[in-house]
Amino acid sequence: MSEEQLRRVRDRVRPFPDFPVPGVLFRDISPLLKDPVAFKALLDLLEDHLRASFPKIDFIAGLDSRGFLIGPALAQRLGIGFVLIRKKGKLPGPTESVSYALEYGKAELEIQSDAVEPGQKIVIIDDLLATGGTMCAACELMKRLKAEILECLVVIELKLLKGSEKLKSIPFYSLLQYE
């Protein structure tokens, strides 16, 4: 991993105290997305990690909404498809859905029932892992479709919230970690 690329990515993550509620330090990737050199560095680092870790991946599955910003570009680089995991009510056709707890309430995720076939190898991506509720819900959806989850991949992990512990035996990788 290039320390220069990692520094460039880290330097473009902006902290916002007390957002969306008092006491929360929000990690904003907007500056990272605005900077084409930093965004390319992010994609390079994630691509290198996945190529080194997994000889075969069928799909990148991205979480609504920031997983949609990184996942398709990464999938394109790997020459594979991208699958949407959306908030409830946003996908047409038959879907699978799951309810889960958020840091600030409850939510539901869903995926189209034919998004993946049993046994297909999936990497689930999002921008950030906090308490792990959203990522666990995405894993549950993939399990229902009988996909093989190779890894849950995020740009930022908030270590203090211990979200990766909820993933239990599912491999997890974060590029940046904050306490």
DSSP 21: S
Helix axes 67-78, 36-53, angle to 10 degrees: 60
Measured CA to CA in angstroms, residue 44 lies from 34, 78, 95, 160 at distances of 16, 11, 33, 27
| Cβ atoms of 160 and 24 closer than 8 Å | no
Catalytic residue among 10, 47, 77, 103: 103
Catalytic residue among 12, 66, 96, 151: 66
| Cβ atoms of 64 and 84 closer than 8 Å | yes
Question: Is 157 designated active site?
Answer: no
Which string of b and e fits 33-71 if b means at least 16 CB within 10 Å?
Answer: bebeebbebbbbbbeebbeeeeeebbbbbbbbebbbbbb
Question: Is 66 designated active site?
Answer: yes
The whole-angstrom separation of Cα 149 and Cα 43 is 20
The whole-angstrom separation of Cα 118 and Cα 61 is 15
Catalytic annotation, residues:
66, 103
